[in-house]
Amino acid sequence: MNKNEIESIIMKYMPEKDSFPPLSEAMCYSVQNGGKRLRPLMMLETCRLFSGDTSQAEPFAAAVEMIHSGSLVHDDLPCMDNDELRRGVLSTWKAFGEPTALMAGDALMAYAFETAARSLLMPHPERAARAMSVLADSAGTGGVCLGQTQDMQFTGKEPDGETLEQIYIKKTCALLQASMAIGALIGGADDEAVKIVDEAALHIGLAFQIRDDILDVTADEKSLGKPVGSDSKNNKTTFVTIYGLSGAQKAVFEHSALARALMLRLPGDKAFFLDLIEKLENRNN
């Protein structure tokens, strides 16, 4: 599955841009300005591993991307990271003003659950019910919101490596873990397989986030598509400040290796994930 296919699925579930401006405009603007679409991609590909019906996973795939986009909208707000640019264009609050951006983030979260709820009407409602709990937990107190709160708490302070890893697990890994776990659940995986998938996603997420720390130091702005050096500017402790560049990249390789080993224990054709893990550990943007 490629990025274009994923984006057409996401957009199929979004409200029309002009349906209730400016809120619908701000919601669409935030979701359209997408990145790698890793979460929905990993969800649907995990569902495929278990020969699951991806059409029941599609509402969740769109939902997880709405939640991710909404969290970035709130993350960019002046009281958080105060970012005026996101992926080379104006951040949502800079384009639509703070009140509309705040509400667009909230509305994306609500719309995500409205979208995911469609899966409850499909052939395996009991799987969708479990997936709904997993999604909500990872979006909130078990993931994104907790991680962002801790991230703000430790800005300007110096968390040790273990604390930093715990923050990354909440801030970045939780939603990736939920994505793969939901793909597995909807695909009909048993509890043991869901656990393996969840752990693999944890290591993919850590490798991803630590590689991000490295790129913030080593990449050039043009290939990265965003300003470099922002961690140091924002006084953020990262894996690079704690372990150095080579120590951090070593951690990326280690987590990737662990993810690979876990994936090989799963059924189905793992080519997509093995390729993804390799791309992510060496990525330059």
Could you tell me which of 5, 47, 57 has the C-alpha nearest to residue 269?
A: 47
Is 40 a binding residue for a second copy by CB under 8 A? The answer is no
CB of 86 to a second copy, least distance (A): 17
Tokens of 86: 């996101």
Q: In the set 85, 87, 89, 110, which binds a second copy (CB under 8 A)?
A: 110
Tokens of 232: 């140091």
Is 102 a binding residue for a second copy by CB under 8 A? The answer is yes
Nearer to a second copy, 36 or 118 (CB): 118
- What type of residue sits at position 263? M
- Which residues touch 273 (CB under 8 Å, ≥6 apart)? 42, 45, 200, 259, 263
Tokens of 18: 């002009």
Is 199 a binding residue for a second copy by CB under 8 A? The answer is no
CB of 100 to a second copy, least distance (A): 6
Q: In the set 85, 117, 245, 264, which binds a second copy (CB under 8 A)?
A: 117
Tokens of 2: 């490629």
CB of 39 to a second copy, least distance (A): 15
Is 111 a binding residue for a second copy by CB under 8 A? The answer is yes
Given the structure tokens 């793992």, which residue do they identify?
270
Is 125 a binding residue for a second copy by CB under 8 A? The answer is yes
The answer to whether 47 and 187 have CB atoms below 8 angstroms apart is: yes
Is 126 a binding residue for a second copy by CB under 8 A? The answer is yes
- Which residues touch 67 (CB under 8 Å, ≥6 apart)? 108, 109, 112, 135, 139, 144, 175
Positions that interact with a second copy (CB under 8 A): 15, 20, 22-24, 27, 71, 74, 77-80, 98-100, 102-107, 109-111, 113-114, 117-118, 120-121, 125-126, 129, 132-133, 135-137, 139-141, 144-146, 148-149, 152-153
